[in-house]
Amino acid sequence: MKIKLTLVQKRSMLGLLFIAPWLIGFIFLFAGPLAQSIRFSFNKLMVSPGGYELQNVGLQNFQDALFVDANFNRILTESILGMLVDVPLILFFSLFSAVLLNQKFRGRGLARAIFFLPVILASGAIASAESAGLINLVGNAQVAEQLGQASSQFNARSMVLLLSEAGFPLAVTDYIVDAVMRIYEIISSSGVQILIFLAALQSVPGSMYEVAKIEGATAYESFWKITFPMVSPLILTNIIYTIIDSFSDSRVTQTIYETAFKTQNFGLSAAMAWLYTILVSVLLIVMGVIVSRKTFYHN
């Protein structure tokens, strides 16, 4: 007997098909270690000849992470504040670059590849190959140091004076100057977001811009009335991606790793990891709720 599925059921089945690889990997590869880390966070792990033994300590590991460890609170706070500063900068630069790269001009494919190049160079495979001596991206260490010193000679004083004379508040001035001083970090962290925004821009119907042009809308009005609302669902996607990516190789994860494998305190390390996970999850939920209220979905 042939079962007829509704359109909603077909879309649900298609969604399950797309998430099936992740779901299978989560169940067979990730669920076990995840449950084990929860168990470790409430116990003190002691290595024994037969493997390890666990001694239940309740919430002691969490209390040690928050109130005893000298560095974890500070590193976690600095990472959160740094992320809150970087996310708007990365999103603004990504959307600005995507709008430029979406224009029709000669050499557009090469320009898109150049903007994505920092992501490739910053990938784990390239870093591993460079550390192993298989490739050399920076050449002589002395030359790299000279280039770093030259790049740090940017005169921020002139920019501060210019922005102050323009009437910008001191907090805004500091924010802009800090962004300019860290432009390479922002570009390196924007490659994937540029691609996502670029895909969203290419899905905007051209007829909308044609109608707006006939009605006499300027490019500025077209951006805020058409482009920005149409890409707003992808803004939420990029916010979530940027928040998670900012912690992928942060000092928080390094501290958790060192606590586990250098000091051999696996229980404290697991507690730190879960505190970090809960905090990031709360941030994602808050940002998701706030941005979703302003998101425009075109049917």
Three-state secondary structure string covering 7-76: HHHHHHHHHHHHHHHHHHHHHHHHHHHHHHHHHHHCEEEEEECCEEEEEECCCHHHHHHHHHCCCHHHHH
What gap in Å lies between CA 179 and CA 249, rounded to an integer? 20
Tell me the sheet residues that pair with 51.
Answer: 48
What gap in Å lies between CA 96 and CA 10, rounded to an integer? 37
What gap in Å lies between CA 226 and CA 285, rounded to an integer? 27
What gap in Å lies between CA 261 and CA 54, rounded to an integer? 17
- Please report the pLDDT score of residue 144 as a whole number: 46
Q: Which domains does the chain have, with CATH numbers?
A: 59-293 (1.10.3720.10)
Whether 61 contacts 41, CB under 8 Å: yes
Whether 217 contacts 225, CB under 8 Å: yes
Whether 40 contacts 270, CB under 8 Å: yes
Distances (CA, A) of 130 to 44, 121, 122: 38, 10, 11
> What tens-digit pLDDT sequence spans the chain (299 residues)?
567 778 888 888 888 899 999 899 999 988 888 899 899 889 888 877 777 788 888 889 998 888 888 788 888 888 888 888 888 888 888 888 888 888 877 877 777 777 667 666 655 555 555 555 555 555 544 544 454 455 545 566 676 777 777 777 777 777 777 777 777 778 777 888 888 888 888 888 888 888 888 888 888 888 888 888 888 888 888 888 888 887 777 788 888 888 888 888 888 899 999 998 898 889 888 888 888 887 777 66
